[in-house]
């Protein structure tokens, strides 16, 4: 289970890195494209972090 979570997490971290790279790149765009691009890139980054949270906080079964 942790192996699968780790593989998925690597991909989500890659998405987060792309979001950050995009945020930095978008600084060179004219308004309002810059704001629009940065807005969705921020959402991508937050979604990636949210996905990581969901993965690693998944409830485990309670056995007797």
Partner 1 sequence: MSTSAACSIDAADRKSTWMEKLNGPWHKYSLWVYTAIVLAHWMEHLAQTTQIYVLGWPIPESRGVVGLWIPWVVKSEALHYGYAIVMLIAFWILRTGFVGQSYRWWMVAFWIQFWHHIEHALLQGQAIFHHNLFGSPVPMSIVQLVIPRVELHLFYNTIVFIPMVIAMFYHMFPLPGEMPHQGCSCAWHPRMAKA
Contact 51, 12 (CB under 8 A): yes
Helix axes 33-56, 2-26, angle to 10 degrees: 170
Q: How many CB atoms lie within 10 A of CB 19?
A: 21
- Shortest Å distance, C-beta 9 to partner 1: 10
Q: How many residues bind partner 1 (CB under 8 A)?
A: 36
Assess 58 for contact with partner 1 (CB under 8 A).
Answer: yes
Assess 13 for contact with partner 1 (CB under 8 A).
Answer: no
Cis status, amide bond into 32, omega within 30 of 0: yes
Assess 10 for contact with partner 1 (CB under 8 A).
Answer: no
Q: How many CB atoms lie within 10 A of CB 41?
A: 19
The footprint of partner 1 (CB under 8 A) covers 1, 4-5, 8, 11-12, 14-15, 18, 21-22, 24-26, 29, 32-33, 36-37, 39-41, 43-44, 47-48, 50-51, 54-55, 58-63
């Amino acid at each position: 289970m942790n192996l699968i979570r780790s593989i998925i997490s690597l991909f989500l971290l890659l998405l987060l890195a792309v979001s950050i790279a995009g945020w930095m790149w978008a600084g060179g765009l004219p308004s309002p494209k810059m704001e629009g691009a940065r807005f969705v890139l921020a959402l991508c980054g937050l979604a990636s972090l949210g996905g990581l949270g969901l993965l690693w906080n998944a409830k485990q079964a309670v056995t007797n």
